[in-house]
Amino acid sequence: MTTAVREAPHHRNLTCVKEYRCRRPECLARSAAYDRDRNRLVAYGRWQPFVDAEPVRQHVRMLGSYGIGWQRVCRLSGVSNGGVSRLLYGDRARGYTPSKRVRTTTADRITAVRPALDNVAPTALVDATGTRRRIQALVANGWPQLRLGAELDLNHYRMIWERARGEAVTGATARQVLDLYNALWNVDPATHGVAPRYIAQAKSIAKAYCWAPPGAWDDEYIDSPSAVPDLGESTDRYTAIAEDARWLVREHGYTNEQAAHRLGITKDHLFRAFSQRPEQGTPTPSNGRHLPNQLAA
């Protein structure tokens, strides 16, 4: 009489082979690979199947503070819901005491999940600080709020602020604004058909509310509520543009047109900056269309 082999509930780990005697080729291959790795590490004295669970638990909680819940961590890491649940809350068999140790492979999978916006679920709530600052920075660069609303496919631009003025926004909204910001932060609105008077109006609004432009924010810290914009020294705009453009031309070999594009302005705007702020010992061009010889494109 033969003993019936129970069907394994899943085939994601070694349980199906060790406990249910699964004979699927892919499961046997996974079990054989595990045994080879184990035997090699044992031979080198480096076999460590379990590690302290506390750092892993703290990592999951840290991800939660970024809007990445523990069930989302399960999906991103490939670790079962039960495994992460036991890590955080324990289970009935252990008196609901959180795990003291976890498998090394489990720890590696969980800690590989980073607190990045791409890992946030679309409906999860995240801090709205970065979203709000990115919208304000685009306005400071001359992008009208109405145009930003159209780019975000919103019926009315006021919906932007309804989404970003609160304490939190959804992950989908934060990603949508981030993508728009990455596409437009260094683009002159005039090249996309925005009329000069609307550009001036947007910049006037940003100035009235002291909204910082993109150049004042470090991409790594713009989402941090404690970060402050770096507005530099009290240098007027023409001086800053002329100095930055000359540096790009001399140090990086940019043409004037490339420098203007890099700074998010038109070539005519760059010419005016050169004319208003000539280098010491360099005559100002007289015909209004030619740049200083050493800076000519």
Domain co-membership, 56 together with 135: no
pLDDT at 12 over 70: no
What is the mean predicted confidence (pLDDT) over 265-276?
Answer: 82
What are the pLDDT digits (tens) for 137-178? Answer: 999 999 998 888 888 877 655 556 665 566 788 888 899 999
Report which residue type is found at 67.
Answer: G
What is the mean predicted confidence (pLDDT) over 278-283?
Answer: 61
Domain's final residue, options 76, 98, 119 = 119
The domain total for the chain is 4
Domain co-membership, 161 together with 135: yes
Q: Which residue has the higher pLDDT, 168 or 2?
A: 168
Domain co-membership, 198 together with 250: no
Domain co-membership, 110 together with 162: no
Residue 231 lies in a domain: no
Residue 103 lies in a domain: yes
Domain co-membership, 143 together with 211: yes
Domain's final residue, options 89, 119, 149 = 119
Are 262 and 248 a contacting pair, CB within 8 Å? Answer: yes
Domain co-membership, 143 together with 201: yes
pLDDT at res. 74: 92
Domain co-membership, 129 together with 212: yes
Q: Which residue has the higher pLDDT, 245 or 59?
A: 59
> Pairing state of beta strands 50-52 and 101-103?
antiparallel
126 φ/ψ angles, rounded to the nearest 5 degrees: -130, 160
CATH at residue 269: 1.10.10
Domain of 273 in residue numbering reads as 237-295
pLDDT at 230 over 90: no
Residue 209 lies in a domain: yes
How many other C-beta atoms can be found within 10 angstroms of the C-beta atom of residue 217?
22
Domain's final residue, options 119, 141, 169 = 119
pLDDT at res. 239: 78
Report which residue type is found at 84.
Answer: V
Domain co-membership, 166 together with 188: yes
User: Which tokens belong to 154?
Assistant: 């919103």
Report which residue type is found at 258.
Answer: Q
What are the pLDDT digits (tens) for 172-196? Answer: 889 999 999 999 998 999 998 999 9
Alpha carbons 154 and 288: distance in angstroms, whole number: 42
Residue 79 lies in a domain: yes
| Angle made by CA atoms 176, 181, 182, in degrees to the nearest 5 | 100
Residue 6 lies in a domain: yes
Residue 165 lies in a domain: yes
Domain co-membership, 142 together with 195: yes
Residue 279 lies in a domain: yes
pLDDT at 13 over 80: no
pLDDT at res. 202: 92
What are the pLDDT digits (tens) for 91-123? Answer: 877 777 888 888 888 999 999 998 888 889 888
User: DSSP readout, the chain?
Assistant: -PPPPPPPS--SSTHHHHTT----HHHHHHHHHHHHHHHHHHHTT----EEEHHHHHHHHHHHHHTT--HHHHHHHH---HHHHHHHHH--GGGTTPPPSEEEHHHHHHHHT----GGGS-TTSEEESHHHHHHHHHHHHTT--HHHHHHHTT-SSTHHHHHHHSSSEEEHHHHHHHHHHHHHHTT--GGGGT--HHHHHHHHHHHHHTTPPPGGGS-TTTTT-TT------SS--HHHHHHHHHHHHHHHH---HHHHHHHHTS-HHHHHHHHHHSPPTT-PPPSSSS---GGG--
Domain co-membership, 133 together with 92: no
Domain co-membership, 167 together with 130: yes
pLDDT at res. 197: 94
Domain co-membership, 142 together with 72: no
In percent, the amount of the chain with pLDDT more than 90 equals: 20
> Pairing state of beta strands 125-127 and 101-103?
unpaired
Residue 226 lies in a domain: no
What is the mean predicted confidence (pLDDT) over 266-294?
Answer: 60
